[in-house]
Structure 1
Amino acid sequence: MKYTLRPYQQEASDAAVKFFSDKTTAKHNGLLILPTGAGKSLVIADIASKIDEPLIVLQPSREILEQNYAKLMSYGVWDCSIYSASLNRKEINRITFATIGSVMAHLDDFNVFHKILIDECHLVNPRGGQYKEFIEAVEGRQVIGLTATPYRLGQTIDPKTINSKWKKYGSILKFLTRTRPRVFDQVLYYCQVKTLLEGGFLAKLRYFDMNALELDRVKLNSTGADYDDESLFKEFERVGFFEYTLNIVKRVMRPKDGSLRHGILVFCRFVEDAERLADELCGFCEVVSGATPKKEREAILERFKSGETEVVANVGVLTTGFDFPALDTIILARPTMSLALFYQMVGRAIRPYPGKDGWVIDLCGSVTKFGKVEELWLDHDERGGWIITSNGKQLTNIMMTK
C-alpha cells in the first residue's frame, strides 16, 4: 500500500533523507520534531523506504517498535526485520527495527549500520548510557532522532546564588540541542502543534480547570525536578483529593446530558489511589501500573478500547506508545513539574477520530502552569537558541519553579 503523506510528513521525511545523503553531516546529529498524533511511524516508514544503505531504527519499547515496523511493512518494503528479545525475534536485515537493550547484548553484530533513526529520542542521555554507547561504537555514524518533546531535565545553579558560598541548585528543562554535553546539535525539521490543529490533523480539546490542590504547600524532591511524594501525599490527605477525584470520575461517567464518553483515562500519582478507584467503581474501572504483567495489561487495554471497561486508572504508564484514537477523556489526577509528562498525558486524547469531543479535566493546576498543548510553541531566544514557550512564557532553558 502506498500512502500519500501529509505536507508536513513529506517535508520531515525529505529533510531526513537529505541529511542522510550528505556525507558532510557525519559529525552532526539531527532532530525531527513532530507533535504527538503527527504520524511519526509514517514518516519513519517513508524515510526507511528511500534509504538504500543499512538502516537501524531504535525504539524504547516493544509497543512502539511494533507500530513502526507494521507501518513500513504496509509500504511493501520486505527487506526489514525485528530485533527485540521482548518480542522473541532477533533477525538482522537491511532495515532493522530494534529495542536498544537487545542490541547492546550483541553490539558487534550491528557494526554495518552507519545510519540510525531513534524514536522518542528525548530519552537519549547525552552523558552516557546505551544509546550513546551504541552511537559511538562505530565512527562516523549519522543519527536522526524523532520526538514530540525535544527537551530533558538537568541541574543548574540558581543565578542568584552563583557568587555565594552557599550555592543553591535547581532543575532546568534544556532543549536537546542546548544540553552540555549533547547528542543532537541541529533541528532538521519541526512542526507546531497549532499548525496541525488548524489543518484538522489533531482533535480539538476542551480544558476544564478543576484544581483542588495548593501546590505551594508541597515540597520538591531532592533533585528539584518534581514534587516530593511524602509532601504531596499530605496535601492529598489535607484536601480529600481521592474523594474529590472519585466524585469527578463518577460525574464524567454519567454526564447530566446523558451522553457517554469513549474511554476515561485517569492519570494517578499513587498506586493505592488507582486501586481505590477501581474498588469504588467495581466492574467499571481497571488499573494499569508499571507492575502490571504485559499480558494482563494488554487484556485490560483491549477491554478499554472495546468499551467493556469504561475507566482505566494508570500510574506511571500509558504516556507513550498507547494508541487509542477514540479516547476522548483525560483526567489529570497527578501534578507534575515535567512539561514532557504533561504533554504526553494530554497527548493521549489529541489523536483525531470522527465526531470526537476531547476533554482534558485538570485537577492539579497543570494547564495553568504549562498552558494548553496547542499553545506550546517552538521558538528562538534572543541569542538564537531553541526554546519552548507558551503564550509568550518561556518554559525551557530557565530555572524551574513551583
Structure 2
Amino acid sequence: MDLRPYQQTLVSTTKTKFRNGEHSVLVVLGCGGGKSVIAAKIAKQTTDKNHDVIFIVHRRELCEQIRRTFNLCGVNPERCRIEMVQTLCRRSFPKPKLLIIDEAHHVMADSYQKVLDKCKGSYVIGFTATPERLDGKSLKDVFGTEIKGPTVQWLIDHKFLSDYTAYNAPLLSTEGMHIRHGDYVKDDIDAAMSTKLFGDAVNNWKRIANGRKTIVYCHSVEASKQIAEAYRAQGISAAHLDGTTPKKERESIVQAFRDGTIEVLSNVDLFGEGFDVPDCECVQLLRPTASRTVFVQQSMRSMRYQEGKHAIILDHTENIAKFGTPKNLAPVVERKKQQKKKNDLPVKYCPKCLAVIESGQTVCPYCGYELPRDERKSPELVECSLKEVEERSVMIPQTFADIVNIQKRAGYKFAWCIYKAREWKIQIPSKYRFYARRILGY
C-alpha cells in the first residue's frame, strides 16, 4: 500500500527524530488522515529488521480493524502484537523495540502508564487527531516531541477529506452543568434534555440530510434507543448500538449500515475514535460535550473521503458555538480542575418519616417505606430549524465583543480576552486598556 506524500513525510520525520536521540514522538494528524496506514508502514519497517512491535488500542472492535490494515501493508504478524491496553497492562510480555499507541490522548490513564512502565527503553510513537486530554493533563510528560501533519483545510483542498456543511441551533444550554472526568455529568444532560429534541432531530434530518447514511451521537443508552425509534416511526430505517450489544449483532448492524439497508445508526460514544465507515455522509450531534477532543472525533466522522461526497454536520447543541468547526477550531485554553467537596453525598428525604437518606435508596432503611420512582415527562417536541453555519462566523473574531462572547460561553477568565485580542490584533476598548497594560506588562 503506497503512502500519500504527506504520510511519507510524517514517517521520515519520525525516523529522523529517533535517529537524533528522541525516544518518544507524538504524531498529530486529523481524523481521516490515515494514521493507521502510517503506523503500519513504520511497524513493517521495524518487523522487517526482525524487531518486535506492540500496537495498543483501547477498544476491542479496533483490534480487528487495525489487524486488517497491518496485514494489507505486509507487517509480519509474528513480530507484531495488536492488543487492548486493558489486557496488556495486566500481563507480562517481552519488551518490544517499538511501542505504538493509538488514540494517544488517552496515554495519561493508569492502564497506559502501566504498559509504558513495562516498555521503558522502547521507542514510543503515539497517534492522535486531538492532542488534548479531557482532564487538561499535558502529554508532554510522555512524548518528548510532537510532529504535526497537514491541517484539515489542506486535507480537504487536496481531496484527502470530504468537505462539509455544518448546521446548528443552540437548542440546549450547558449553563449550570457540572463537569466530571473532562465531560458533562450524564444526570445533568438528562435533566437538560428530558423535554427536548427527538421529533425536531428527525424533522431537521429529513429537511437537510434525507437519504444520507447518518451516525447519531446521544448522551445515554435510553436516549439513543428513543431517537432510533423516532426515526423508525417516520419510516426511516434506523438501529441503536451500545457497548453491551452482542458482538455478532453489532457486526451485523454495522454491515447493514455499510450496505445501506440501515440509514441511521444511533449510539453512545461507540463510533467516535477509530471507527472507519468511509461512506458515512452525515453526523447528528444530540449530546453536548465539554471536550474538544470528543467534538472533533464525532463531528469529523462523516468526512472520510469519497469522490463526490459532501458531508453534513447537524449540531443540536452548543458544540459548534463553543468549539468552532473542524476547519476553524477555537483555541484550546487549559481548564482548572474542579475541586471535589468533602462529604458531598447526594441525599433526599423519606416522604413518610422525613428521615434523610442516600438518594440512591429505593426503600427507607428507617421506616421501610417504598419510595416512588421519579417519573420523567415525555419529551417535548421543540420546533426549531437548524441553520447553515458560515465558516466566517466561527473563525477568528473580528471585534473585542466577539472575543468576550466566546469567553462567556466557554467560561474562561476575562484576562483570556486581553491575550487573545493581542494575538489576533484586535483593538482593546479604552475602558480596558489600563487592565490590559497590567496584564501584558507594558
TM-score bucket of the superposed structures, by smaller chain: 0.7 to 0.9
Name the aligned partner's letter for residue 325 of structure 1: P
Paired position in structure 2 for 1:89: none
Cα deviation code 1:15-60 (max 9, x no counterpart): 22233445x334xx21011111001121012112222222222222
Which stretches in structure 1 are left out of the alignment for 5+ residues?
81-92, 155-172, 255-259, 382-389
User: SS in structure 2 opposite 1:327?
Assistant: coil
Deviation at 1:400, TM superposition (A): 5.7
Paired position in structure 1 for 2:200: 244
Cα deviation code 1:86-119 (max 9, x no counterpart): xxxxxxx322222223323431x323x1321111
Q: Does 1:349 align with 2:340?
A: no
- Taking structure 1 as reference, are residues 266 and 75 closer, same or farther at Cα in structure 2, changes over 3 Å only? closer
User: SS in structure 2 opposite 1:25?
Assistant: coil
Q: Percent identity?
A: 28
Q: Is the 8 A contact 2:22 2:144 kept in 1?
A: no
Q: Does 1:335 align with 2:288?
A: yes
Name the aligned partner's letter for residue 149 of structure 2: Y
Paired position in structure 2 for 1:117: 100
- Taking structure 1 as reference, are residues 140 and 231 closer, same or farther at Cα in structure 2, changes over 3 Å only? closer
Paired position in structure 1 for 2:184: 227
Q: Is the 8 A contact 1:266 1:314 kept in 2?
A: yes
Q: Does 1:401 align with 2:401?
A: no
Rounded Cα–Cα distance in structure 1 between residues aligned with 2:281 and 2:13: 33
Rounded Cα–Cα distance in structure 1 between residues aligned with 2:331 and 2:287: 26
User: SS in structure 1 opposite 2:26?
Assistant: strand
Q: 1:311 aligns with which of 242, 248, 264?
A: 264
Q: Does 1:104 align with 2:89?
A: yes
Deviation at 1:130, TM superposition (A): 2.3
- Taking structure 1 as reference, are residues 311 and 190 closer, same or farther at Cα in structure 2, changes over 3 Å only? same
Paired position in structure 2 for 1:88: none
Alignment of 1:73-88 (within 5 A): 73-77=71-75, 79-80=76-77
Q: Is the 8 A contact 1:193 1:376 kept in 2?
A: no
Rounded Cα–Cα distance in structure 1 between residues aligned with 2:84 and 2:160: 29
Q: Does 1:32 align with 2:15?
A: no
Rounded Cα–Cα distance in structure 2 between residues aligned with 1:135 and 1:309: 41
- Taking structure 1 as reference, are residues 225 and 25 closer, same or farther at Cα in structure 2, changes over 3 Å only? closer
Rounded Cα–Cα distance in structure 2 between residues aligned with 1:50 and 1:267: 38
Q: Does 1:147 align with 2:144?
A: no
Alignment of 1:195-274 (within 5 A): 195-216=154-175, 218-221=176-179, 223=180, 225-238=182-195, 240-252=196-208, 254=210, 260-261=211-212, 263-274=213-224
Name the aligned partner's letter for residue 38 of structure 1: G
Paired position in structure 1 for 2:60: 62
Q: Does 1:322 align with 2:285?
A: no
Q: Is the 8 A contact 2:99 2:119 kept in 1?
A: no
Q: Is the 8 A contact 1:193 1:377 kept in 2?
A: no
Paired position in structure 1 for 2:323: 370
Paired position in structure 1 for 2:14: 16
Alignment of 1:258-297 (within 5 A): 260-261=211-212, 263-282=213-232, 284-297=237-250
Larger CA Rg, structure 1 vs 2: 2
Name the aligned partner's letter for residue 37 of structure 1: G
Structure with the largest fraction of strand: 1
Cα deviation code 1:220-239 (max 9, x no counterpart): 24x3833333333333235x
User: SS in structure 2 opposite 1:188?
Assistant: strand
- Taking structure 1 as reference, are residues 336 and 7 closer, same or farther at Cα in structure 2, changes over 3 Å only? same
- Taking structure 1 as reference, are residues 330 and 141 closer, same or farther at Cα in structure 2, changes over 3 Å only? same
Q: Is the 8 A contact 2:177 2:185 kept in 1?
A: yes
Rounded Cα–Cα distance in structure 1 between residues aligned with 2:198 and 2:286: 9
Rounded Cα–Cα distance in structure 2 between residues aligned with 1:36 and 1:15: 20
Deviation at 1:143, TM superposition (A): 0.9
| TM, length-normalised to structure 1 | 0.76
Rounded Cα–Cα distance in structure 2 between residues aligned with 1:214 and 1:355: 36
User: SS in structure 2 opposite 1:135?
Assistant: helix
Paired position in structure 1 for 2:437: none
Q: 2:80 aligns with which of 77, 92, 95?
A: 95
Alignment of 1:134-173 (within 5 A): 134-154=115-135, 173=136
Rounded Cα–Cα distance in structure 1 between residues aligned with 2:214 and 2:64: 25
Q: Is the 8 A contact 2:286 2:315 kept in 1?
A: yes
Paired position in structure 1 for 2:370: none
Q: Is the 8 A contact 2:178 2:185 kept in 1?
A: yes
Name the aligned partner's letter for residue 311 of structure 2: G
State the number of aligned residues: 337
- Taking structure 1 as reference, are residues 139 and 303 closer, same or farther at Cα in structure 2, changes over 3 Å only? closer
Q: Is the 8 A contact 1:197 1:203 kept in 2?
A: yes
Rounded Cα–Cα distance in structure 1 between residues aligned with 2:158 and 2:68: 26
Rounded Cα–Cα distance in structure 2 between residues aligned with 1:355 and 1:58: 34
| TM, length-normalised to structure 2 | 0.70
